[in-house]
């Protein structure tokens, strides 16, 4: 089986450590992730707000390329990319007339049968069953798993019963030895794109998330979305000015947590790249 | 040779505007076997009917065809007219020129031709019609009422007061149902128990009502007027004749920590218990799952302390067979388990409760004796948030339907809270306020204006605990739409009303239909709201759909009236359209070979066997026999019969072939 890989823009820029840690984990597990050659933008926020046709044809081209390279599965770590690709696949399957239109524009045909996996689905399927052998230095601290909005939505496509209170990351973290705390902000909004236009809103929304995690005793926040990471980590000064207090809780990607638990170095996990220093040697 | 009269109706202009009725009458008149044919403006009117009667007598008609509207509309009318003119009513048939032709086609030659074809084919059939006689079945004038909530209680009392016998079966140890759990009732705020308990007592004391509590329907066979019900009386482990209900056993029972069903888990009960002090009958049962003796074989304290020696550990379930003529199903509803809505925190936080639990808190007979105290620490909540539509009108996670009662009881809850905690603050998150009903809207206004209940139009997205408070995050969608956050002490969820967990199984036992949500289906949404599709079985209360007390009581009385109408007859007439196994001349006696394929195919268990004997009483042949009381005339057996030995009266093979041939031999 060939597992494809669609990094998207974030993983080549602001969240390089997400990319590095995912590939490092896959390498330890002996899984080859084949990057789609000549991939393009997923469409993300801009396209689906402004041009519906473009918002489908951009992801559709990536899917068509993956099919050309005969990929059976496609791993899409960025939550926004994943959402666009999955929604496109859903729309192409539901609406044959749109599929025909897009295929004409792209001059490519689509079987539309590739299994698109977000990072949690990929981990659950390929890594979690082997964690017992792969975990070398179990994590020993309390963590708050933060899912954000896109990983579990939309419900019509994801069919997740617990989309208001998801548990997949919590269960993975528990397998790594960490204690996933029960907290109410798992799917609260981080402020997302306001990071650029109205940063103070991110300060408030992300601030409440971070405060809740800290006050409930978490030593780290675990995420699986570059946008969430961006707001909780890089926007920490804005958060601190909203909360009027200094907060040093680090924000790590779930792939980084797995890499650390596998015994890989901080360098291999990419934790040195964060704005908020990752210092997780303190045991519970 | 048949002499058939054909009467073509104009139905005002309903038929004649599209179909050339004069030509249809002319064409019919030329058909073989037709003695007389005409058209008339309104066949169903008095002159129309008189015309038919007149022609039967004048022309000596042997069959009548009225080509008009649907037989569902007027077949009984015309058959009655024929009957009064001395013709067997089953020699009269209707050709549906309106619904099947004029209403669905434009005016054209083809439409008229189709009308002629419809009449011609029916002539083909009627040639072979035979006189039939309606089947008489006796009526057992005892009603079975299943479910002892307010619906079952009302139906039972009404039927019993009409002079008929009633057996009321209740699965719990006491009658009373959900209504007995309620505090005050909208829109008058009269105490639920005060108006209900006298009726419960009346049921127990009524000479015409036999009350079977802790009992469930096991099996229902038979048909309207003649049902045979098997009831399982679960072992109460006491001798009811000896027990005086003194309650000593309950006081002494060492197992005291079982969550009380009556108090929705907010109170505790013992293993030998009556659900609540006003229970009817007020005699305890032993809960075998929690009783120490049944679990470990040790204890028997209740037996030692019982002054009358009424405890019976060896008692077993008993099956009782009853002959009943009608059944009223009044099994009620349940509230949805809200743990599916993890965002509301039910099950995680003790102070997030359901509306039914709030009823117990507000009830004078409840665990707090009517004081509103929160379950976690017993403190009086200063701020309560009510969440309407918790599971209702929610196609993605809950039920798509409106539960109907929640808007009103939530207004009532907030009102009761304000009456009891004067400085308290109550907020209701709602989608719409649905308060249609007599004095209902006024009641809601009263809550808003007089009792200062805050209504916020918007949904709650999340409830979580922080520093001992329940933080309720929601949105106010009205003017200046904005997110709302309330620090509450208690949250009450107006959980969706759903069908009981055993509803589907019960419906299958009784062969009545039910909808996608397991609510029982009425025979017609407007005109037969208390009947089911199975004759003789009626519905009352929330087992059909969520409804409040006034509506439930009305429907229960309606069901009782239907039963009384049924019981006003000594015998019932049934359409004689039933299957018949042929009997032929000796030495064959019947072409039936006794394979009983028909019996396996019959959905109504209507096929038994008949032993044909000679004069000496020796069995000559074993053949199938149809019980006309059970047969519904569906014809499945006819299709299954290998030797073509079964026919449906009124729709025999001969008639059907003749009808088809008439269509084909144009």
- A-chain CB neighbours of B459 within 8 Å are none
Q: Provide the number of structural domains found in chain B.
A: 5
State the sign of the Cα–Cα–Cα–Cα dihedral A128, A131, A134, A136: positive
Residue B153 counted as domain residue:
yes
How far, in Å, CA of A7 to CA of A226, rounded?
11
Q: Are residues A140 and A269 in the same domain?
A: yes
Last residue of a domain, one of A119, A149, A167: A119
The residues, ordered by sequence, that sit 6+ positions from B50 with a Cβ below 8 Å of its Cβ are none
Q: Are residues A88 and A212 in the same domain?
A: no
- pLDDT digit string (tens) for B31-73? 999 999 999 999 999 999 999 999 999 999 999 999 999 998 8
Contact B263, B366 (CB under 8 A): yes
Q: Are residues A65 and A168 in the same domain?
A: no
Last residue of a domain, one of B67, B101, B126: B126
Strands B425-430 and B454-457 turn out to be: parallel
Q: Are residues B515 and B449 in the same domain?
A: no
Percent of chain B with pLDDT over 90: 89
Closest by CA to A274, choosing from A80, A78, A20, A15, is A15
Q: Are residues B341 and B255 in the same domain?
A: no
Residue B23 counted as domain residue:
yes
How far, in Å, CA of A160 to CA of A167, rounded?
10
Residue B628's pLDDT is 86
Phi and psi at B594, nearest 5°, equal 70, 30
Residue B433 counted as domain residue:
yes
Q: Are residues B541 and B629 in the same domain?
A: no
Tell me the shortest Cα–Cα distance from A165 to chain B, in angstroms.
6
- A-chain CB neighbours of B464 within 8 Å are 183-184
Last residue of a domain, one of B542, B567, B592: B567
Residue A283 counted as domain residue:
no
What domain range is B617 assigned to?
Answer: 579-648
- A-chain CB neighbours of B348 within 8 Å are 182
Tell me the shortest Cα–Cα distance from B413 to chain A, in angstroms.
27
Interface of A with B (CB under 8 A): 155-156, 161-162, 164-165, 182-184, 188, 212, 215
Closest by CA to B331, choosing from B556, B46, B118, B125, is B556
Strands B383-390 and B425-430 turn out to be: parallel
Residue A94 counted as domain residue:
yes
Q: Are residues A194 and A232 in the same domain?
A: yes
Q: Are residues B257 and B389 in the same domain?
A: no
Residue B70 counted as domain residue:
yes
Location of structure tokens 């041009």:
A51
Q: Are residues B148 and B112 in the same domain?
A: no
Residue A282 counted as domain residue:
no
A40 half-sphere exposure, CB direction, 13 A CA radius:
15
| CB-based contact B340 A155, cutoff 8 Å | no
Burial class (CB in 10 A: 0-12, 13-18, 19+), B622: middle
Q: Which of B77-91, B545-559, B594-608 has the lowest mean pLDDT?
A: B594-608
The CATH number of whichever domain residue B382 belongs to comes to 3.50.50.60
Q: Are residues B622 and B521 in the same domain?
A: no
Closest by CA to B530, choosing from B509, B553, B510, B549, is B553
Token code pair at residue B273: 């218990």
Last residue of a domain, one of A68, A84, A119: A119
Location of structure tokens 């009817």:
B280
The CATH number of whichever domain residue A244 belongs to comes to 3.40.50.11810
ipTM rounded to 2 decimals: 0.79
Residue A265 counted as domain residue:
yes
Residue A281 counted as domain residue:
no
The CATH number of whichever domain residue A68 belongs to comes to 1.20.1050.140
Tell me the shortest Cα–Cα distance from A164 to chain B, in angstroms.
6
How far, in Å, CA of A121 to CA of A131, rounded?
15
Note down pLDDT in tens along chain A; length 284 residues: 899 999 999 999 999 999 999 999 999 999 999 999 999 999 887 777 788 889 999 999 999 999 999 999 999 999 999 999 999 999 999 999 999 999 999 999 999 999 999 999 999 999 999 999 999 999 999 999 999 988 888 877 877 777 888 999 999 999 999 999 999 899 999 998 898 899 999 999 999 999 999 999 999 999 999 999 999 999 999 999 999 999 999 999 999 999 999 999 999 999 999 999 998 754 44
Contact B462, B385 (CB under 8 A): no
Q: Are residues A151 and A187 in the same domain?
A: yes
How far, in Å, CA of A59 to CA of B592, rounded?
70
Contact A241, A159 (CB under 8 A): no
- pLDDT digit string (tens) for B488-545? 999 999 999 999 999 999 999 999 999 999 999 998 888 899 999 888 999 999 999 9
Closest by Cβ to B343, choosing from A156, A161, A164 = A164
Q: Are residues A218 and A166 in the same domain?
A: yes
Q: Are residues B479 and B347 in the same domain?
A: yes
Write the Ramachandran bin of B37: left for phi over 0, alpha for psi from -120 to 50, otherwise beta.
Answer: beta
- B-chain CB neighbours of A211 within 8 Å are none
Q: Are residues B381 and B487 in the same domain?
A: yes
Last residue of a domain, one of A90, A119, A148: A119
- pLDDT digit string (tens) for B565-588? 999 999 988 889 999 999 888 888
Residue B656 counted as domain residue:
no
Q: Are residues A87 and A158 in the same domain?
A: no
How far, in Å, CA of B186 to CA of B442, rounded?
11
Closest by CA to A143, choosing from A284, A17, A7, A45, is A284
Q: Are residues A147 and A269 in the same domain?
A: yes
How far, in Å, CA of B534 to CA of B509, rounded?
12
Q: Best mutation site among B387, B464, B487 for testing chain A: the one with the most A CBs within 10 Å?
A: B464
DSSP B92-154: EEEEETIIIIITTS-SSHHHHHHHHHHHHHHHHHHTT-----PEEEE---EEEEE--SHHHHH
- B-chain CB neighbours of A184 within 8 Å are 345, 462, 464-466, 471
Q: Are residues A84 and A186 in the same domain?
A: no
Distances (CA, A) of A32 to A37, A75, A178, A253, B300: 15, 11, 27, 20, 69
Q: Are residues B392 and B485 in the same domain?
A: yes
Q: Are residues B379 and B492 in the same domain?
A: yes
Contact B643, B593 (CB under 8 A): yes
Residue A62 counted as domain residue:
yes
Closest by CA to B71, choosing from B662, B575, B591, is B575
Token code pair at residue B270: 């013992």
Run of H or E residues at A241: helix A236-243
The CATH number of whichever domain residue B9 belongs to comes to 3.40.50
Q: Provide the number of structural domains found in chain A.
A: 2
Q: Are residues A139 and A219 in the same domain?
A: yes
Residue B292 counted as domain residue:
yes
Closest by CA to A66, choosing from A97, A40, A94, is A40
Residue A283's pLDDT is 44
The CATH number of whichever domain residue B596 belongs to comes to 3.30.70.3270
Q: Are residues A139 and A265 in the same domain?
A: yes
User: Is some CB atom of chain A closer than 8 A to the CB atom of B343?
Assistant: yes
Tell me the shortest Cα–Cα distance from B341 to chain A, in angstroms.
8
Closest by Cβ to A155, choosing from B345, B396, B471 = B396
Run of H or E residues at A66: helix A52-68
Q: What's the rounded mean pLDDT across residues B302-328?
A: 96
pTM attached to this predicted model = 0.80
Q: Are residues B360 and B485 in the same domain?
A: yes
Tell me the shortest Cα–Cα distance from A97 to chain B, in angstroms.
27
Beta bridge partners of A73: A3, A115
| CB-based contact A212 B466, cutoff 8 Å | yes
The residues, ordered by sequence, that sit 6+ positions from B523 with a Cβ below 8 Å of its Cβ are B531, B532, B533
Last residue of a domain, one of B567, B591, B617: B567
Residue A281's pLDDT is 59
Closest by Cβ to B342, choosing from A156, A164, A183 = A164
Contact B659, B124 (CB under 8 A): yes
Distances (CA, A) of B359 to B185, B194, B562: 10, 15, 33
Tell me the shortest Cα–Cα distance from A142 to chain B, in angstroms.
18
Q: Are residues A107 and A142 in the same domain?
A: no
Residue A259 counted as domain residue:
yes
Token code pair at residue A104: 């004409």
Residue B465 counted as domain residue:
yes
Residue B662 counted as domain residue:
no
Contact B388, B406 (CB under 8 A): yes
Q: Are residues B273 and B360 in the same domain?
A: no
What domain range is A202 assigned to?
Answer: 135-273
| CB-based contact A162 B343, cutoff 8 Å | no
Burial B162-183 (b: 16+ CB within 10 A, else e): bebbbbbbbbbbbbbbbbbbbb
User: Is some CB atom of chain A closer than 8 A to the CB atom of B462?
Assistant: yes
């Amino acid at each position: 089986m060939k597992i494809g890989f669609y990094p998207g823009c974030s993983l080549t820029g602001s969240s390089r450590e997400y990319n590095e840690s995912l590939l490092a984990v896959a390498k330890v597990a002996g899984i080859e992730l084949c990057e789609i050659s000549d991939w393009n933008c997923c469409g993300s926020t801009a396209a689906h707000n402004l041009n519906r046709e473009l918002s489908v044809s951009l992801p559709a081209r990536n899917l068509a390329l993956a099919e050309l390279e005969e990929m059976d599965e496609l791993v899409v770590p960025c939550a926004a990319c994943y959402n666009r690709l999955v929604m496109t696949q859903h729309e192409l399957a539901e609406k044959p007339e749109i599929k025909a239109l897009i295929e004409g524009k792209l001059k490519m045909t689509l079987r539309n049968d590739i299994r698109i996996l977000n990072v949690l689905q990929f981990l659950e399927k390929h890594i979690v069953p082997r964690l017992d052998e792969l975990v070398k230095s179990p994590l020993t601290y309390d963590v708050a798993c933060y899912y954000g909005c896109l990983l579990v939505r939309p419900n019509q496509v994801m069919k997740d019963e617990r989309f208001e209170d998801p548990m997949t990351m919590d269960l993975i973290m528990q397998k790594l030895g960490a204690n996933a705390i029960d907290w109410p902000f798992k799917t609260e909004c981080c402020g997302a794109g306001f990071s650029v236009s109205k940063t103070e809103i991110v300060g408030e929304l992300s601030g409440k998330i971070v405060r809740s995690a800290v006050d409930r005793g978490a030593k780290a926040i675990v995420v699986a979305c570059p946008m969430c990471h961006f707001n909780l980590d890089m926007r920490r000064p804005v958060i601190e000015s909203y909360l009027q207090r200094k907060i040093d809780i680090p924000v790590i990607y779930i792939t980084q947590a797995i890499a650390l638990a596998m015994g890989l170095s901080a360098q291999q996990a990419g934790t040195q790249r964060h704005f908020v220093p990752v210092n997780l040697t303190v045991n519970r | 040779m048949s002499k058939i009269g054909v009467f073509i109706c104009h139905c005002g202009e309903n038929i004649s505007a599209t179909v050339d009725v004069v030509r249809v009458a002319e064409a019919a008149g030329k058909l073989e076997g037709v003695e007389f044919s005409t058209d008339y403006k309104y066949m169903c009117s008095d002159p129309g009917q008189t015309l038919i009667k007149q022609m039967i007598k004048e022309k000596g008609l042997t069959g009548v065809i009225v080509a008009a509207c649907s037989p569902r509309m007027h077949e009984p009318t015309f058959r009655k007219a024929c009957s009064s003119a001395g013709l067997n009513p089953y020699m009269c048939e209707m050709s549906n020129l309106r619904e099947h032709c004029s209403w669905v086609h434009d005016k054209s030659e083809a439409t008229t031709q189709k009308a002629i074809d419809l009449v011609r084919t029916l002539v083909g059939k009627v040639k072979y019609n035979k006189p039939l006689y309606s089947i008489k079945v006796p009526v057992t004038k005892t009603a079975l009422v299943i479910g002892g909530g307010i619906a079952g209680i009302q139906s039972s009392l009404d039927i019993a007061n009409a002079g008929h016998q009633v057996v009321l079966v209740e699965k719990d140890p006491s009658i009373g149902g959900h209504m007995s759990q309620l505090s005050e009732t909208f829109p008058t705020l009269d105490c639920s128990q005060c108006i209900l308990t006298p009726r419960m007592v009346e049921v127990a004391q009524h000479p015409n009502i036999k009350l079977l509590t802790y009992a469930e329907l096991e099996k229902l066979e038979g048909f309207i007027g003649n049902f045979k019900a098997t009831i399982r009386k679960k072992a109460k482990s006491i001798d009811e004749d000896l027990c005086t209900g003194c309650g000593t056993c309950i006081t002494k029972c060492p197992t005291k920590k079982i969550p009380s069903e009556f108090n929705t888990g907010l109170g505790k009960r013992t293993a030998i218990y009556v659900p609540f002090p006003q229970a009817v009958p007020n005699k305890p049962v032993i809960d075998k799952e929690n009783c120490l003796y049944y679990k470990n074989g040790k204890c028997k304290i209740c037996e030692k302390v019982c002054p009358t020696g009424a405890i019976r550990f060896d008692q077993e379930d008993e099956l009782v067979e009853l002959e009943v003529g009608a059944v009223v199903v009044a099994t009620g509803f349940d509230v949805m388990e809200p743990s599916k809505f993890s965002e509301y925190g039910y099950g995680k936080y003790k102070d997030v409760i359901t509306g039914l639990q709030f009823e117990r808190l507000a009830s004078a007979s409840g665990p707090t004796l009517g004081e509103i105290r929160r379950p976690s620490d017993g403190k009086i909540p200063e701020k309560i948030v009510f969440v309407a539509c918790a599971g209702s009108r929610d196609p993605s996670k809950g039920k798509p339907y409106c539960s109907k009662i929640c808007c009103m009881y939530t207004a009532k809850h907030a009102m009761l809270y304000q009456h009891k905690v004067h400085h308290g603050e109550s907020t209701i998150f709602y989608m719409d306020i649905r308060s249609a009903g007599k004095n209902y809207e006024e009641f809601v206004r009263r809550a808003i204006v007089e009792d200062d209940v805050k209504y916020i139009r918007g949904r709650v997205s999340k409830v979580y605990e922080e520093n001992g408070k329940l933080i309720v995050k929601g949105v106010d969608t009205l003017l200046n739409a904005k997110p709302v956050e309330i620090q509450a002490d208690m949250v009450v969820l107006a959980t969706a009303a759903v069908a009981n967990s055993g509803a589907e199984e019960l419906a299958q036992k009784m062969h009545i239909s039910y909808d996608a949500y397991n609510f029982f289906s009425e025979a017609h949404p407007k005109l037969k709201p208390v009947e089911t599709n199975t004759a003789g079985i009626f519905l009352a209360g929330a087992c059909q759909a969520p409804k409040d007390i006034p509506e439930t009581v009305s429907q229960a009385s309606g069901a009782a009236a239907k039963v009384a109408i049924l019981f006003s007859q000594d015998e019932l007439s049934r359409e004689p359209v039933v299957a018949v196994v042929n009997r032929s001349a000796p030495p064959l006696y019947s072409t039936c070979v006794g394979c009983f394929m028909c019996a396996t195919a019959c959905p109504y268990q209507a096929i038994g066997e008949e032993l044909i004997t000679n004069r000496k009483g020796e069995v000559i042949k074993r053949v199938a026999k149809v019980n006309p009381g059970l047969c519904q005339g569906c014809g499945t057996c006819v299709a299954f019969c290998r030797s073509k030995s079964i026919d449906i009266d009124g729709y025999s093979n001969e008639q059907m072939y003749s009808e088809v041939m008439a269509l084909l031999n144009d």
